[in-house]
């Protein structure tokens, strides 16, 4: 068996078929057999997050504008995404897989890599075991899936994509290049529209045509990406299966050096903590729907309260929720020693495509810009005016001032 972090000898890639639609159909069986589009109403500015095979027959695909999808198939059922249910079913798949293999990587909400090196001694013949695993998931969760097995992650993923048309596939060790050769270049992970267009212009529609030529040609054209392209065309991939560790909470708290009573100082602290937590959520690729505020008085009495909201990683939403919780939590006229914000019920942020309402799109761009400034110039490079006022005021005790300390709560 390969060690965690080492390139696996045998890798299984597993992809849940039309995952969002499959979950929706479990909740509403009347959707079975009908063209279904998940992403929102056709009159929103969003894009298709997922669609059924029936919808694909009309030319609809993921990332297509919803309005265009409606024009292609006005009779389709258009659904708003249900993050909560998707995350719950994804976690249930993760749990089943974690019980089956020693090393599991969760690549996305509906995509998994399994390091199955050496598992034959324990689980039995590879083909029989993988078939049993697939049908145990389908039997317990009623979710369809496709898998591919190969020497490495790249070829296993391609095998899965091919398997969606031809059935689950296993590629024997040493057979990677011959397996890839006849397929179109667009099936290779990492080949986007621009690179595909360049390769087609060079007369290279098939992966095998890349593998036959010198690596120098591709490094001259695409730089370091050219080297990866050439290696991938020959079925070479050294990326390891990364063990999946579920993040349960994310937050930050602040202990004042001197206990405070001024509501402006506490407001500034909440704004800074919301910034900190929001940035951490975005950098780690999470959304939250559960916010908890922690309050410790000067006499060490501690109080906490939790509220739920729509999934978010936006600073202004976290701050608004924290302020709302604090107003109901702060019931004593006693100085405050500590304030904290923590988030739970985290899910991976696969849903930015759902949030293209004008207001959300504006904030997405704003936070992307703020995060980039902080990455380049430091986390205190830009903040709220009220935070700066408290930092630079008479007490100098505000967030990021000389006496301010933030500790992470994992």
Residue 50 and residue 77 in contact, taking contact as beta carbons nearer than 8 Å: no
DSSP string, 11-41: EEEEEETTHHHHHHHHH-GGGTTS-EEESS-
Contact 94, 106 (CB under 8 A): yes
d(CA 326, CA 87): 29
Residue keyed to tokens 């078929």: 17
Using alpha carbons, select from 105, 235, 261 the residue that is nearest to residue 173.
235
CA distance 346 to 8: 29
Q: How far apart are CA 98 and CA 113, in angstroms?
A: 11
One DSSP character per residue, 32-90 reads TTS-EEESS-TTSS-B-SEE-HHHHTTT--TT-BHHHHHHH-TTSEEE---HHHHHHHH
The Cα diameter of the chain in Å comes to 77
Q: Give the residue among 364, 346, 343, 366 at the shortest CA–CA distance from 355.
A: 364
Closest by CA to 113, choosing from 160, 65, 71, is: 160
246 SS3 class: coil
Which residues have a Cβ under 8 Å from the Cβ of 278 and sit 6 or more positions away? 313, 314, 315, 318, 367
Please confirm, yes or no, whether 111 is among the known catalytic residues: yes
Three-state SS at 3: coil
- Whether the CB-CB separation of 45 and 361 falls below 8 Å is answered with yes
How far apart are the C-alpha atoms of 107 and 17, rounded to whole Å? 15
Q: Which of 98, 111, 196, 360 is catalytic?
A: 111
List residues with catalytic annotation: 111
């Amino acid at each position: 068996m390969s060690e965690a972090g080492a390139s696996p000898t045998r890798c299984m890639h597993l992809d849940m078929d039309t995952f969002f639609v499959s979950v929706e159909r479990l909740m509403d069986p009347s959707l079975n057999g009908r063209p279904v589009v998940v992403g929102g109403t056709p009159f929103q500015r969003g894009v298709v997050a997922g669609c059924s095979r029936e919808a694909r027959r009309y030319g609809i695909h993921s990332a297509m504008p919803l309005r265009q999808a409606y024009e292609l198939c006005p009779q389709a059922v258009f659904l708003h995404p249900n993050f909560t249910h998707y995350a719950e079913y994804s976690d249930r798949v993760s749990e089943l897989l974690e019980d089956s293999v020693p090393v599991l990587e969760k690549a996305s909400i509906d995509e998994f890599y399994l390091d199955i090196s050496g598992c034959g001694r324990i689980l039995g013949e590879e083909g029989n075991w993988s078939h049993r695993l697939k049908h145990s998931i389908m039997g317990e969760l009623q979710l369809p899936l496709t898998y591919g097995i190969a020497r490495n992650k790249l070829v296993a993923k391609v095998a899965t994509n091919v398997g969606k048309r031809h059935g689950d596939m296993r590629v024997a060790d040493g057979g990677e290049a011959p397996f890839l050769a006849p397929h179109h270049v667009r099936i290779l992970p990492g080949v986007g529209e621009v690179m595909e267009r360049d390769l087609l212009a060079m007369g290279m529609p098939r992966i095998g045509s890349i593998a036959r030529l010198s690596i120098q040609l591709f490094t001259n054209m695409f730089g370091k990406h050219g080297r990866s392209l050439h290696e991938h065309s020959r079925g070479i991939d050294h990326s390891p299966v990364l063990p999946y560790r579920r993040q349960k909470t994310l937050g930050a708290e602040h202990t004042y050096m001197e206990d405070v009573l001024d509501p402006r100082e506490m407001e500034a602290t909440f704004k800074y903590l919301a910034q900190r937590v929001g940035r951490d959520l975005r950098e780690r690729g999470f959304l939250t729907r559960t916010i908890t505020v922690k309050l410790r008085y000067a006499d060490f009495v501690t109080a906490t309260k939790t509220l739920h909201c729509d999934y978010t990683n936006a600073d202004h939403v976290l701050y608004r929720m924290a302020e709302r919780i604090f107003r109901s939590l702060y019931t004593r006229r006693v100085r405050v020693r500590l304030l904290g914000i923590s988030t739970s019920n985290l899910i991976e942020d696969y849903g930015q495509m759902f949030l293209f309402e004008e207001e959300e799109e504006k904030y997405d761009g704003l936070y992307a810009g703020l995060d980039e400034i902080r990455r380049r110039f430091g986390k205190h490079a830009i903040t709220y005016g009220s935070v700066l006022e408290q930092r630079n005021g008479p007490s100098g005790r505000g967030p990021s001032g000389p006496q301010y300390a933030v500790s992470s709560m994992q």
